[in-house]
Amino acid sequence: MQVSKKQFKTTTGVFYKVLETKEHIFFCNYRESDENAAVKMFDREGKIVSDNYHAYSHFIELIEGKNYTKITPRLKKIANIHLNTF
């Protein structure tokens, strides 16, 4: 996978690059409601690390802890709404 791409398409929809850490790059399908399929996690070389609940769970932990190096404006807006509802 070329993690330099901003998005890619699968049979389940379009995944957008939304979050980065020093070790991982996360792509999210905003239209997917199933947490087992909504997030794909890659290492920096483009190898898939997880594309199921584990990717989603780690993704949410990073957002809640604000432990990331890059976040898209769209995801930041969604995260702020999510974090402020609790």
User: pTM of whole model > 0.75?
Assistant: yes
- How far apart are the C-alpha atoms of 81 and 78, rounded to whole Å? 5
For 28-82, the pLDDT digits (tens) are 999 999 999 999 999 999 999 999 999 999 999 999 999 999 999 999 999 988 7
What's at 55, amino acid-wise? A
Residue at token pair 């780690």: 58
Written as six digits, the tokens of 2 are 């070329």
39 and 31 in contact (C-beta within 8 Å)?
A: no
Written as six digits, the tokens of 6 are 């901003």
- How far apart are the C-alpha atoms of 76 and 61, rounded to whole Å? 14
pLDDT at 84 over 90: no
